[in-house]
Structure 1
Amino acid sequence: MNSILEEYDKKKNVLENLDKSLDTLINSLLKRKGIEAHQIKTRVKDRDSLEKKILAKQKYKSLDDITDIVGVRIITYFDDEVDQIATLIEEEFVIDQDNSVDKRKIDSDKFGYRSLHYVANLKKDRTNLPEYSSYKGQKFEFQIRTILQHSWAEIEHDLGYKGEFEIPSTAKRTFYRVAALLEQADIEFVKLKSTIAQYENNLSQNIKANPSQIEINKASLISFMSKNENVINFENDVFSDEYNLVVIESDVESSAYARLINKIKSLGIENIKQLEEFYLEHEKQLRDSLKSLFPLERNTIRRGDSVLILINYTLPKLTVQK
């Protein structure tokens, strides 16, 4: 054991640098793939934990035998993102299949959180780079799981029971039920995400076909502000031609949408057709009110900002004038 700990002490700086490099690398890879994780956390096993592990297992001969000295935990929002990240890791790293395990495939009547564990090391083309050269052959562990799977793991750890045979018989049924509920919730969240994505994908077409049937919500408002021909034509004419602003496609904050929707609905506007009619009805007042707003100390403006200005600035101004 002493020899392993001495080896650990000598490599501590390298391990800590690997920890930082993996954090940067994983964040970069996920961003490139457009995957937004809930949390990415890396860590180097501390000396006390390592010593306890060596004593408990009684099987390690060298530091290289311990594959989770450096660990990366990736927590996703949705269950299908676990597989997306798994594919990415398999593409970008060398996987030690013998020491990797998919705990999502455990028997349904067994206890334990469901997460995907990979033991891996960097590929040769990466360790050939100077910044990664000192990590050649060094193994590390990935843990990938959803928020709900992580919650189960944390609660299970807090309760102090990890195995089926440790659970009191009187509590087993409750444990099974909670595990099943969390697993079903993961499934339902993926379905919910898919339903929303399908709604958003069909939204532009549905708005054109029957705008009076499309309620005012965040997705429909974004579509109206960014794709409605009347909004686009007005902003190109006024923002671009009159005020020489570059109109950029950029979303606004979620909180701004919530406030805007509340104000729109307070006007009795419940669907996209009514909103379009309202926009056209007040186009002249909107144009006039812009004269007091410009010039601004900027050379760009977001697509759809005319709707924000109409609701948040022009209408209150008209009310005061009355």
Structure 2
Amino acid sequence: MKEQEKAVFTKEELAVAVRVPTVVEQDLKRIISDRLEQCGLYFRVFSRIKTATSMARKFEMKEYGEGRKLQDLIGVRINLYFEDDTDICKNIMEHSFELVDWSTSERSEAEFKPTKLNGVFRLPDYLKSEISSDTWEMFIDDTFEIQIKTMFFEGWHEIEHDMRYKGEELWGHYPSFSRYLNSILATLELCDKSMVTLFEDLGHELYKSGRWSDMIKSHFRLKLGTASLYPEVEELLNKDMERVENLAKKIYKTPRPVLIEQLSKRSRKIPINVNTIIALLNDSQFHDSRLSAIFKSYDVYNDGREESLAESRHYELRPLTRHTVFQMCTQVDGSRIRQEQTPSSRQIFERSADIIYKWIVRKYGVLFKDMPQGVCTYHADILAYHVTVNYDPGRYRLNMHVRHMDMEVGGRIWYSEASLETDANERVILKVCNGYAEPEPDDNFVQESAGIFFSYPGYYKSIVDNVGIFNGTVCMNKRRLLREERLPELLQVLRDPERNFPLVVIVSKENQDGMMDEDWLAPFRVSDFTRTVWRYAHVFTGYEEPGRKFLKQAGVPDAETEGVPGLYIFWPDGAWDRYGVEDVKNCSFGRHMEARVDMRTYDIVRGGQGFYHKIVTDLRDWNVSADMWEGFKLDILTEIPQ
């Protein structure tokens, strides 16, 4: 790839664009753990979401671009206790997810080194839809990586990598120590193989001794329950020893992968014990009528299956409370539709309706298989999943409501609602309400700020980016210069009663070269800030002279003598805020970095960086708390309008 085609992003850009909810990582980990537990394997699973810092470093070191994308945004590591489980685990993963590619390091006869088995898989559609859509514009693939290792390998590889691989030049001067380490690594590799051989040999001795339960445990090396072998089965195995091809020998000679394959094919988990193992092998391999009769009388696959807490628990039902995480009411003006003639209201409506409906199909089509691909009226329910679209192209009207359960937080339901129609002036008006509902909290429960969950839906982003909206003025993804001849236009924007975008005006002095001096903002980069907030706020920057004139006409006191340099936010409700040099310098902000099921991590940023996060948070908090559109009130009504 040519140098100019290489993609490089800063960690700040990646932190803003790439947002992966923890439910994605946790659900992948859960799916993998469930599959392996169902097969009775000994394993441990670890997972991580790549941080913005790690991604930025990788983009800097490697050649990513259109032809090659970062594929390990989410990583899962499976540590196995037995070496021969590697191929079994590999096969299970291939049947659980859509495989892109496997890669492994080659072994040589004269060298001992880690053998890596890395698989790249497509994210399931329902998890991909949870990740911010901006992610896919950063040369990041919709994949995740699975690493499969043995426990011995995991331990010595980390030591070898940190102590020798990273200090290769040093070790080159001490060949005897390097050889010594090689011998240790060879011993550990031998341990992996020896563990399997040990239990195979033990299983054979137990077979010869007639200790059937212990033989099964050693030979198959699976996590078994404590159930004892049925007396009738033990008696049958003992009597059958008179035959050359007796049942006990058939059990012992059955390869371990055959049993694991049968476990993996079950539609639900069954207790794994000596009885169910023999029953599975009999159903698939032996077909012995005597065993079949015994296991039928015991209902073997349900024997020992305990009622789970989830099956026996009873809940007190409580009303759901709605929390808005994004809302907007705006004109869709078609300013981003590329064509020679100005698009008509019909074209704007149809393009926007198509975007909304396609978003629904991408997100929910995997659940509702009968969903038509073209825009139409549609209604479907599957338990906590719901889609309603009322479409009237003749009247230029589309109303929709969708909802789904939260994959991580119990009792929480996420919803998105949109209304698209033309008004009396034939303008296309889009209303959006994104949010969640959850049971009313107990007295001791502290509700988190909805701003933490600020999130606009993908269809809103696509309409803004590809169709264009007008909210007091045209929505633009780059800073706009405050020129004197444009002051009347900007004042009109300021006083527009339909404006729902806060107006951010940054006024700076000139430096000695006649350029705008924005050093007072320190790391606060206006261009980055604009790209972050442009879908819900307007950003203008200006030199001191036109800036003071605007501020004076906007009603800011002392505009002729004070307040420059300064950042001003003119809120749609008529209020305004002013921030100066000292506000930026002394700003300290607790930035939410990542969330896990049982903990939250914050870091404190100061100065311009802290000020950046404060202003972004203020704009988002205003959005979720404003009175723009509260949706269709489905907590009161049962249907959305036609």
Is the 8 Å Cα contact of residues 64 and 139 (structure 1) preserved in structure 2? Answer: no
Specify every segment of 5 or more residues in structure 1 that has no aligned partner in the other structure, as ranges: 208-221, 233-248, 252-300, 302-322
> Which structure's residues are more often helix, by fraction?
1
Match runs of 1:282-321 below 5 Å: none
- Distance, in Å, in 1 between the alignment partners of 2:67 and 2:203 is 47
Q: Which residue of 2 aligns with 1:191?
A: 197
TM-score (norm 2): 0.29
TM-score (norm 1): 0.55
1:67 aligned counterpart, secondary structure: coil
- Distance, in Å, in 2 between the alignment partners of 1:205 and 1:22 is 40
Q: Which residue of 2 aligns with 1:79?
A: 83
The one of the two structures with greater contact order (alpha-carbon pairs below 8 A, sep at least 6) is 1
The one-letter code sitting in structure 2 at the alignment partner of 1:46 is: T
The match for 2:74 among 58, 70, 76 is: 70
Q: Do residues 102 (structure 1) and 104 (structure 2) align?
A: yes
Between stretches 66-75 and 157-166, larger displacement belongs to 157-166
Q: Which residue of 1 aligns with 2:188?
A: 182
- Distance, in Å, in 1 between the alignment partners of 2:211 and 2:160 is 47
- Distance, in Å, in 1 between the alignment partners of 2:15 and 2:94 is 27
Match runs of 1:101-180 below 5 Å: 101-103=103-105, 105-110=106-111, 112-122=113-123, 126-127=124-125, 130=126, 133-134=129-130, 138-161=142-165, 167-168=171-172, 169-180=175-186
The one-letter code sitting in structure 2 at the alignment partner of 1:106 is: R
Is the 8 Å Cα contact of residues 120 and 139 (structure 1) preserved in structure 2? Answer: yes
The match for 1:49 among 47, 54, 61 is: 54
Is the 8 Å Cα contact of residues 121 and 139 (structure 1) preserved in structure 2? Answer: yes
Shift of 1:110: 3.9
Shift of 1:118: 0.8
Alpha-carbon distance change, 54 to 145 in structure 1, aligned in 2, over 3 angstroms: same
Alpha-carbon distance change, 227 to 29 in structure 1, aligned in 2, over 3 angstroms: closer
1:12 aligned counterpart, secondary structure: coil
Alpha-carbon distance change, 112 to 192 in structure 1, aligned in 2, over 3 angstroms: same
Structure 1 residues 24-69: Cα deviation after superposition (integer angstroms, max 9, x where no partner): 11011111222221x2001011122222222222x11279811122
Is the 8 Å Cα contact of residues 117 and 144 (structure 1) preserved in structure 2? Answer: yes
Shift of 1:172: 2.7
Structure 1 residues 166-214: Cα deviation after superposition (integer angstroms, max 9, x where no partner): 742233311321221111111111111222334455554689xxxxxxx
Alpha-carbon distance change, 21 to 195 in structure 1, aligned in 2, over 3 angstroms: same
Alpha-carbon distance change, 5 to 162 in structure 1, aligned in 2, over 3 angstroms: same
The match for 2:41 among 35, 39, 60 is: 35
Compute the RMSD of aligned alpha carbons: 3.8
Alpha-carbon distance change, 139 to 206 in structure 1, aligned in 2, over 3 angstroms: closer
1:74 aligned counterpart, secondary structure: strand
The one-letter code sitting in structure 1 at the alignment partner of 2:51 is: D
1:2 aligned counterpart, secondary structure: coil
> Which structure's residues are more often strand, by fraction?
2
- Distance, in Å, in 1 between the alignment partners of 2:152 and 2:117 is 14
Specify every segment of 5 or more residues in structure 2 that has no aligned partner in the other structure, as ranges: 1-7, 214-224, 236-270, 274-303, 305-642
Is the 8 Å Cα contact of residues 112 and 163 (structure 1) preserved in structure 2? Answer: no
- Distance, in Å, in 2 between the alignment partners of 1:226 and 1:183 is 36
1:34 aligned counterpart, secondary structure: coil
Alpha-carbon distance change, 183 to 205 in structure 1, aligned in 2, over 3 angstroms: closer
Shift of 1:227: 5.6
Q: Which residue of 2 aligns with 1:13?
A: 20
Alpha-carbon distance change, 195 to 50 in structure 1, aligned in 2, over 3 angstroms: same
Is the 8 Å Cα contact of residues 7 and 63 (structure 1) preserved in structure 2? Answer: no
- Distance, in Å, in 1 between the alignment partners of 2:87 and 2:167 is 26
Alpha-carbon distance change, 206 to 66 in structure 1, aligned in 2, over 3 angstroms: closer
- Runs of at least 4 residues off by over 6 Å: 163-166
Alpha-carbon distance change, 108 to 71 in structure 1, aligned in 2, over 3 angstroms: farther
Q: Which residue of 1 aligns with 2:32?
A: 26
2:190 aligned counterpart, secondary structure: helix
- Distance, in Å, in 2 between the alignment partners of 1:5 and 1:91 is 37
1:65 aligned counterpart, secondary structure: coil
- Distance, in Å, in 2 between the alignment partners of 1:164 and 1:121 is 36
The one-letter code sitting in structure 2 at the alignment partner of 1:138 is: D
- Distance, in Å, in 1 between the alignment partners of 2:177 and 2:14 is 44
Alpha-carbon distance change, 227 to 53 in structure 1, aligned in 2, over 3 angstroms: same
- Distance, in Å, in 2 between the alignment partners of 1:192 and 1:121 is 38
Is the 8 Å Cα contact of residues 117 and 141 (structure 1) preserved in structure 2? Answer: yes
- Distance, in Å, in 1 between the alignment partners of 2:12 and 2:84 is 39
Alpha-carbon distance change, 45 to 110 in structure 1, aligned in 2, over 3 angstroms: farther
- Distance, in Å, in 2 between the alignment partners of 1:3 and 1:75 is 33
Is the 8 Å Cα contact of residues 148 and 186 (structure 1) preserved in structure 2? Answer: yes
Larger radius of gyration: 2
Alpha-carbon distance change, 250 to 91 in structure 1, aligned in 2, over 3 angstroms: closer
1:48 aligned counterpart, secondary structure: helix
Shift of 1:4: 8.2
- Distance, in Å, in 1 between the alignment partners of 2:118 and 2:272 is 38
Alpha-carbon distance change, 60 to 131 in structure 1, aligned in 2, over 3 angstroms: closer
Alpha-carbon distance change, 8 to 166 in structure 1, aligned in 2, over 3 angstroms: farther
